[in-house]
Structure 1
Amino acid sequence: MTENRATLNNKNALPSGILGFPITPFRRNGQIDEQALEANIQFLLDEGLSSIFIGCGSGEFQSLSIEEYQSILQLAVQVTNGRVPVFSGVGGNIAQALEQAQLSAQIGVDGYLVMPPYLVEGEQEGLYNYYKLITESTELDAVIYQRGTAVFALETMRRLLQIPQIKGFKDGYGNMEKNIELIKNIGNRLSWFNGMPFAEVTMPAYWAMGFRSYSSAISNYIPHISRMFYTALEQGDEALVDELYREALLPINDIRKQRQGYAVSLIKVGMEIMGLPAGETVRAPIVPVTPEHYQQLEAILNNVMTKFPARVATGG
């Protein structure tokens, strides 16, 4: 497996490269399919992803009970068995976030991705207090997630960086001016992650700013394409980047944009098409993929696998 750990301040390691974000597979009766989740995590490990981020957006974080949350964290730690870092998702209302942070520490994950506050759009002082309370509640490494109700001024980030547990910054907001301001002022004090929906689509712009890591939804079903894309960016192979855009990334993204919630449900359909266990349903308010869009994705994936067979793309 390729080494994918980055050094932060010469002593603290956070995952780099392509980050793995498993789904949470549900049976028709609403229960978590633990066998399918184990297979999903094992698949990401076998494909060489640098980390497992469990119970985050693609894992339908918002719909899990605290008991379900605990069970999937335990499973992720067990399956990875120290091979790669495991990060949990924490957030929502402050009481819930603090409970999840404590559970994460007890279970033994390596850190957590701190989600935005639930619904409320706080002032910068409120954001500062929210993230300070959570990240100081344990000794775990913390990655701040900028999106939705959490958009940070530079001065707020400078204050938060007094907290040593904060090691990374994931951007899902997409304001290039703000990102440049942050990364040029903060530099390598943080690891920088692209967390935009379908991150491959925007990664060339993020790469130019100095971001070297991203969360990959398609790695749950066509990880060799994500690896090809990352390597092409790294090597400056613009022709291959453009070809992957035309044949894979933009066509899939066109479907993803058709309905709210497809950022999750389309992953599960992609896994199903590729013969990977993905559960049988999603939880409200996310909606399942329509038959029409299922067929469109199936045609795209058939074309992708014809043009870029996994055995060729991965060298295996």
Structure 2
Amino acid sequence: MYKPFGMIPALPTPMKEDNSIDFEGLKQLIEHLIDGGMNCLLVGGSTGEYSLMSMEERKEVIKFVCETSNGRLPVMAGTGCHRTEDTIELTQYAAEVGADCALVINPYYMTTSRQGIIDHFKAVAKNSSIGIVIYHYPDATGVELDPELIHEISQIDGIVGIKNTADGQHTSKLIALTKDNPNFAVLTGFEHLILPTLAIGGHGAVGVVHNLAPTKLAKLYDLIVNENNLKEATKLNLELLELYNAIEDETIPGTVKAGLEVLGLSGGPSRLPLVPASEDYKSKITSILSELGERKLQQH
């Protein structure tokens, strides 16, 4: 069963002016990320505006990314839904169209007990033929899973990792608890924690800046994990800090879509209630990407 690792961009979904999905733009983005040395593609995560899509659209986007990647990179499909049954159905669909694992957010709107959370992940994993990655994002859900609870869920058959969008101390405790489990990957969901997470034994990072500077993020991973060169990695990470900070200056995915347009890729609007980046922000992200040497791409 595939266990995710490395640098995993959370794909935004390029949109046309009428808010329909720009599949041609999505195809160009996928090629850009494959060329940039990424390790896996996350489709249908928060940045991809999954929560503002119909179930049919979610399926279309997952299928399109799997077909476009065509085995060149593994695909992680965001399949979390409020209902356990819907999560299972979408995960099974993702497996059928070629996804390698599924990202499943913990129950949050109708909050449940610790046992309810465990039972939810057990049911999804049991009914899925691909590995399940826990999506832990307490800032967004208002539900924090403590490291001990995640450790318990990590021992369920078919649970292969976590996107842990939580603070460094939480991630550090989680790595300590799960380090002896060869089937479980700890991935940070915060760009600022990529370097420390990898340095203390984490397996990778899911993030949005990966879309804008994939070769640099791939290099950062390589320096830490393969070359054991923390000095050079720290230097590169310092160069990227301004980009990490800027991506959260305004509403995501408006910020990353503005960055994609600077690179000559499709971004387009976001669906309400999300808003596009301001003109001031567009100037700022243009200048940051230019300083990093990220320029307009040659189209495929």
TM-score, structure 1 as length reference: 0.83
Contact kept? 1:23, 1:40, Cα under 8 Å: no
What amino acid sits opposite 1:229 in the alignment?
Answer: L
Q: Does 1:290 align with 2:282?
A: no
Q: Are residues 1:254 and 2:242 paired?
A: no
Pairs within 5 Å for 1:100-249: 100-148=90-138, 149=141, 150-176=143-169, 178-189=170-181, 190-197=183-190, 199=191, 201-234=192-225, 235-247=227-239, 249=240
Q: Is the contact between residue 19 and residue 51 of structure 1 (CA under 8 Å) also seen in structure 2? A: yes
Any unmatched runs of 5+ in structure 2? none
Distance 1:22 1:231, change over 3 A: same
1:7 corresponds in structure 2 to none
- Residues 51 and 41 (structure 1), Cα distance of their counterparts in 2 relative to 1, 3 Å cut: same
Secondary structure of 1:91 counterpart: coil
Verify the 8 A CA contact 2:195 2:234 in the aligned structure 1. no
Following TM superposition, by how much is the alpha carbon of 1:75 offset from its aligned partner in structure 2, in angstroms? Answer: 0.9
Deviations 1:10-34 (A, max 9, x none): xx43232111322111111111011
The code of the aligned residue for 1:53 comes to: L
Asked whether the 8 Å contact 2:247–2:255 carries over to 1, the reply is: yes
Q: Does 1:266 align with 2:255?
A: yes
Distance 2:149 2:211 in 1: 34
- Does the alignment pair 1:281 with 2:269? yes
Where does the alignment leave 5 or more consecutive residues of structure 1 unmatched? Answer: 1-11, 311-316
CA contact (8 A) 2:2 2:101 kept: no
Task: Give 1:222 deviation, angstroms.
Answer: 1.8
- Alpha-carbon deviation of 1:251? 1.6
Measured at CA, do residues 102 and 212 of structure 1 come closer, stay the same or move farther in structure 2, by a change above 3 Å?
A: closer
Counterpart position of 2:20: 31
Check 1:208–1:237 CA distance in 2 against 1; reply closer, same or farther (3 A cut): closer
Residues 39-50 of structure 1 aligned to structure 2 (within 5 Å): 39-50=28-39
Alpha-carbon distance change, 274 to 309 in structure 1, aligned in 2, over 3 angstroms:
closer
Letter in 2 for 1:186: T
Flag as ranges the 4+ runs of structure 1 deviating above 6 A: none
Shift of 1:83: 2.1
- Given candidates 47, 58, 61, the residue that maps to 2:50 is 61
Q: What's the secondary structure of 1:28's corresponding residue?
A: coil
Distance 2:62 2:275 in 1: 25
Q: Deviations over 1:134-191 (max 9, x none)?
A: 2222221111122224533455345434431111122111251x33333223224243
1:89-147 Cα deviation digits (max 9, x unpaired): 01130243233123213323122011132434433122112222222222211111222
Larger relative CO (CA 8 A, sep 6+): 1 or 2?
Answer: 2
CA 1:257 to 1:134, structure 2 compared with 1: closer, same or farther past 3 Å? same
Structure 1 counterpart of 2:288, which letter?
Answer: I
State the secondary structure of the residue aligned to 1:287: coil
Measure, in 1, the Cα distance between the counterparts of 2:168 and 2:8: 21
* CA distance in structure 1 between the partners assigned to 2:293 and 2:172 by the alignment: 36
Report if aligned partners of 1:221, 1:276 keep a CA contact under 8 Å in 2: no
**Count of aligned pairs:** 291
- 1:246-272 deviation per Cα after TM superposition (whole angstroms, max 9, x unaligned): 43x22223323333x23x221111111
> In structure 2, what is the Cα distance between the partners aligned to 1:154 and 1:271?
35
Closer, same or farther: CA 193–287 of 1 in aligned 2, 3 Å: farther
Q: Distance in 1 between matches of 2:19 and 2:263?
A: 23
State whether residues 136 and 163 of structure 2, in contact with CA within 8 Å, keep that contact through their aligned partners in structure 1: yes
Q: 1:242 Cα shift?
A: 4.2
Distance in 1 separating the partners of 2:109 and 2:21? 26
Contact 1:77/1:86, CA 8 A, preserved across alignment:
yes
Give TM-score, length-normalised by structure 2. Answer: 0.87
